[in-house]
Amino acid sequence: MKITWLGHAAFRIETAHSKILIDPFLTGNPAFSGQDRKDVADGITHILLTHGHGDHVGDTIALAAETGATVLANADLAAWLGSKGVKKIEMGNTGGTVHLGGFTATFTQALHSSAQISEDGVSHSLGNANGLMLHFEDEPSLLHMGDTDIFTDMGLINELHQPDIGLVPIGDRFTMGGAVAALACQRFFDFKHAIPCHYGSFPIVDATPEKFVKGMEGLKTKVETPKPGQTLSI
C-alpha cells in the first residue's frame, strides 16, 4: 500500500486494485502548494468523503468529472453532489458498509459538523460527519478518522474493525489537538502505524505534529510524519 499525504486531511491511497483519494481538498489548500494535481488524479478509481465541509469536499466535483471516479459520501452529501452533476455516486450512512470492488468502506462515527454555505449565505446541512474504515483484500486495514474529538466509542470501532493504520486529525480548534489525539490512539486503538493530519495548513491550526509525536512516545505504534506530497509504502 502506498499512502501520500496531500496536506490537511487529503490523502491518496494506492493498492494493487484501487487508487483512492480521501477528502481531496487541493485548490485553496496551502499545504498542497507545489504538488502536481495531474499526478494526484492519475488513475483515480474512487473519491471518498468524510463530511461536507469545503476543506474536505474540495475538488471532488471537478475530479469526478475528469477521472470518472466513483464518489462515496453520506446520503445527504451524496444527494447534494448529484445535484451538482456528479454521476457515479455510492451513498451510505453511519454504521453502514459499502462494497467497492477491491475494498469495503464503513462509515464510522465522528464528533464534528457537516454543512456547506451557499453563495447567498444559506447554510445547507449535508448529513453527519463520519470517519471511514477501509478493509482491503490483501492490504493493511485503514481508518481515516475524519474531523473529530476523542470519544469512548472509538474503542468499539477498534474492537469491530482492528485498523492497522490510523489517519489521525491533530490540529486542534476544529478537531482534537495533538495531546488528546495521542491519548485516543493510546487508549482506544492498537494501530501499527499512525499518520497525523489536519495540521500545518492554516495559521489557526497547529503548525507541527510535535504534541502528537510527544504524546505517542513509548508506544509500539509507529508514528509517520510525512511532508505534504511525500509517499509512504506500508
Residue with the larger pLDDT of the pair 184 and 118: 184
Q: Where are the domains of the chain?
A: 2-112+120-227
Distance, CA of 109 to CA of 166 (rounded, Å) = 14
Q: Which amino acid is at 140?
A: P
The candidate with the shortest Cα–Cα distance to 94, out of 120, 129, 134, is 129
Model pLDDT, residue 123: 79
Q: Determine the Cα–Cα distance for residues 192 and 198; give it in Å rounded to an integer.
A: 20
The mean pLDDT value of the chain amounts to: 96
Q: Where are the beta strands (DSSP E) in 43-174?
A: 46-48, 70-74, 89-92, 97-99, 103-109, 115-117, 123-125, 130-136, 142-144, 165-169
Report the pLDDT value the prediction gives residue 121, as an integer from 0 to 100.
Answer: 75
pLDDT digits 0-9 by tens, 81-137: 999 999 999 999 999 999 998 999 999 999 999 988 776 777 778 999 999 999 999
Task: Lowest mean pLDDT of 112-121, 165-174, 192-201, 222-231, name the range.
Answer: 112-121
Cα separation, 20 vs 119, in Å, equals: 30
Cα–Cα distance between 116 and 121 in angstroms, integer? 9
Above pLDDT 90, what percent of the chain? Answer: 94
Centre a 10 Å sphere on the Cβ of residue 210 and count the other Cβ atoms it contains. 13
Residue 187 has pLDDT above 90, yes or no: yes
Assess whether pLDDT exceeds 90 at residue 203.
yes
Torsion of CA 4, 10, 70, 13, to 10 degrees: 20
pLDDT value of residue 122: 74
Q: Which amino acid is at 86?
A: V
Q: What is the pLDDT of residues 27-82, one digit of tens each?
A: 999 999 989 999 999 999 999 999 999 999 999 999 999 999 999 999 999 999 99
Q: Does domain 2-112+120-227 sit in CATH 3.40.50.300?
A: no
185: phi then psi, degrees, rounded to nearest 5:
-65, -40
Ramachandran class of 24: left when φ > 0, alpha when ψ lies in -120 to 50, beta otherwise: beta
Predicted pLDDT at 124: 78
Query: So what's the pLDDT on residue 120?
Result: 72
- pLDDT higher than 80, residue 178: yes
**Phi and psi, residue 99, nearest 5°:** -90, 125
In this structure, the strands spanning 70-74 and 89-92 are parallel
